[in-house]
Amino acid sequence: MFLLSLVPPTILFCVSNGTLHCAALHRSLFPQRFVFGTATAAYQVEGAFDEGGRTQSIWDTFSRIPGKISDGSNGDVASDQYHKYQGDIELMMQLHVDAYRFSISWSRLMKLDGSVPELNADGVAYYNHLIDGLLTKGIQPYVTLYHWDLPQIYQDAFGGWLSQKIVKVYADYAEACFAAFGDRVKHWITFNEPQQFSVLGFGLGIHAPGRCSTRSMCAEGNSATEPYIVAHHVLLAHAAAVDIYRRKFKATQSGVVGIALDCEWGEPLTSSREDVAAAERHVEFQLAWYLDPIYNGSYPTIMHQHIGDRLPEFSKDEIALLQGSLDFIGLNHYTSRFISNGLVYQKTESMGHFQDQQVNSTVVRNGQKIGNQAASDWLFIVPWGLQKTLLWITKRYNKPALYVTENGMDDLEEAKPLEEMLNDTRRVHFYQDYLTSVLAAIRDGADVQGYFAWSLMDNFEWAAGYTRRFGLYYVDYKDDQKRYPKASAEWFSHFLDKMQK
């Protein structure tokens, strides 16, 4: 039972085919088989960092380095889903969701302390219980294989994603997941936001494993080259995993495999030819970086022009494996920026992914902000940016199957009464507006097949620790991680209730 008595605000979605028709926003306005779900990631919610045979990941290591996490916290306990998953499934039932997107902790699933990795029985049992519990309640599992938490043993042994050795290691891990869970899991996501862990982890040094060219921040790293090397190996690992699935499991399991990429929309600051090209370049450096090799067999031309020989090359065999290696595209989208043409920077070791784009980014145009700011300094609420991003993908890649695999906004962790923290009406309006943007994209031809809210519950938000709350459910970290529904949870429950229209 929900604790709040919020009456969900009414928002009208209107279409015009000569005559204007409007209806209150409800799941019935979406395609019949459209999937609604919530999303989390293993390190952010599971906790139980040293239970059930789990070994350390790079985020266990990174979060213990003084100064790396804003509140000095870590994911040792997080939201404690490892122990509370059954109750969390009940919360999802209250929301009336169709699916739950979660990630598997590589460090929990596999025994990695021997010469040959093998399945960890306790880890397999945990994910079996979670998957079976979801299915029993009619909730489909959408499983992400890698959501940033590389086992530390691979970082130590050969540099993790900087070495091509990781491709086979990841492919073997993916095969183990397909074999263990593929009889019930029909939607697989190979990677979550490779742009983020490539750039933040190996370009800026603010995420694990904390590598960059700035020696005052990072002991090791090269910001000019390493993000591109990491991304290259991610693409090869993705292609290898998809190849294994299609050769060994597709015929009997009948599942699909995709990848989840993130993108902030780039809106031209002015109508000048230079700013329009810069905004396009900004989006290409995010999405086409990963999708062009899969669809066209090569990195975008603009990246070759701007990065030169720092951009790795694919062999003919790698291109053959890459092309066509996905069944759907997952889009993680939160915000947008005004983009203008930028400076040509001198090529140095401190050169980074953003400088390579040669763009300027701002949130103000003609004295007006692009949208209201959420808690994080990077997150401005710009609903129309989601529609534009979905349509950009639709046009460039000939109408692929799409899922919005993450979308949400955060509040600050503050010492306020619980009732006030639960009354997140701004998040209600956020979801109304962004879902309306998804509907508009579908109306304009995008094949969007599902939407996942970030996040089911408040959790460990990486470098921000527990200072930001994205959840539909409030987690009380001071009282055994108890969950409380926010106003946005009640709104989602009403929005998704098939009995309500």
- The DSSP output letter for 457 is B
Is the CA virtual torsion 145, 147, 153, 155 positive or negative? positive
Instruction: From 295, 147, 316, select the one nearest 234 (Cα to Cα).
Output: 147
**How far apart are the C-alpha atoms of 473 and 487, rounded to whole Å?**
9
* Structural tokens at position 245: 């699935």
Helix/strand/coil for 255? coil
**How far apart are the C-alpha atoms of 474 and 457, rounded to whole Å?**
6
* Structural tokens at position 123: 């880890």
Instruction: From 339, 447, 432, select the one nearest 393 (Cα to Cα).
Output: 447
Instruction: From 238, 151, 159, 154, select the one nearest 194 (Cα to Cα).
Output: 238
Half-sphere exposure of residue 360: CA atoms within 13 angstroms, side-chain side? 13
Helix/strand/coil for 211? coil
Give catalytic status of residue 414 as yes or no.
no
- The DSSP output letter for 271 is S
In the chain, the N- to C-terminal Cα span, in Å, equals: 20
Per-residue CA distances from 437 to 1, 81, 98, 315 (Å): 30, 32, 20, 40
Q: What is the DSSP string of 103-142?
A: E--HHHHEE-SSSS-EE-HHHHHHHHHHHHHHHHTT-EEE
Q: Is beta strand 35-39 parallel, antiparallel or unpaired with respect to 99-103?
A: parallel
> Which of 46, 226, 284, 406 is labelled catalytic?
406
**How far apart are the C-alpha atoms of 144 and 106, rounded to whole Å?**
11
> Which of 46, 193, 226, 264 is labelled catalytic?
193
CB within 8 A of 288, min separation 6: which ones? 299, 300, 303, 396
Give catalytic status of residue 226 as yes or no.
no
* Contact by Cβ (8 Å): 39, 90: no
Query: Which residue reads 């005004």 in tokens?
Result: 338
- The DSSP output letter for 410 is -
* Contact by Cβ (8 Å): 36, 99: yes
CB within 8 A of 213, min separation 6: which ones? 221, 222, 223, 224, 349, 350
**Catalytic positions:** 193, 406
